[in-house]
Structure 1
């Protein structure tokens, strides 16, 4: 039998919490036009994302990919860190 593999969804967002071991919370923000008011509003959604080597930290911009269920709430995995957030230590060293 020839089985076709489905295309996995990839999304980009910002890490808002890294307090759990091997898990981060990623927030995705979309701008949506309100139908009655005709103004753009920000709609956000948070995902629990697998971070196996604890590489992503709070404030990082990451790309996540859909995967099989890893736990009760985790169905996404970090595949790439687009940009690192500036930490307080890095700012003090440059000054």
Structure 2
């Protein structure tokens, strides 16, 4: 029997907050954790720079990013797919 090899690369889902740089998007990933001492649910957020080769993702899009080799000083993530297109208001 052969089992599917589990990917060791992390994947995150977040919202594009900036697409001003060439081939790069800034993604805001929010997570909710329980405070260790007080038990309150707290929202924590992190920003990641992800590689967008074609420049197809715009501000407000919800995307999935995957960990990769270092592409530049700050880019270690690559956009893998579009989860939800931004709503035009």
Q: Which residue of 2 aligns with 1:45?
A: 46
Give the structure with the larger helix fraction.
1
Q: CA RMSD in A?
A: 1.7
Q: Give distance in 2, aligned partners of 1:20 and 1:48.
A: 10
Across the two proteins, how many residue pairs are aligned to each other? 85
Measured after TM superposition, the shift of residue 86 of structure 1 is 1.3
CA distance in 2, matches of 1:66, 1:10: 6
Equivalences for residues 1-80 of structure 1 within 5 A: 7-80=8-81
Which stretches in structure 2 are left out of the alignment for 5+ residues?
A: none
Runs of 4+ in 1 over 6 A off after TM superposition: none
When the two structures are superposed, what TM-score results if normalisation uses the length of structure 1? 0.82
Task: Determine which structure has more spread, i.e. the larger CA radius of gyration.
Answer: 1
Using the TM superposition, give the Cα deviation of residue 38 of structure 1 relative to its aligned residue in structure 2, in angstroms: 1.4
In 2, Cα distance between equivalents of 1:35 and 1:68? 33
Q: Could you list the runs of 5+ residues in structure 1 that have no partner in the other structure? A: 89-95
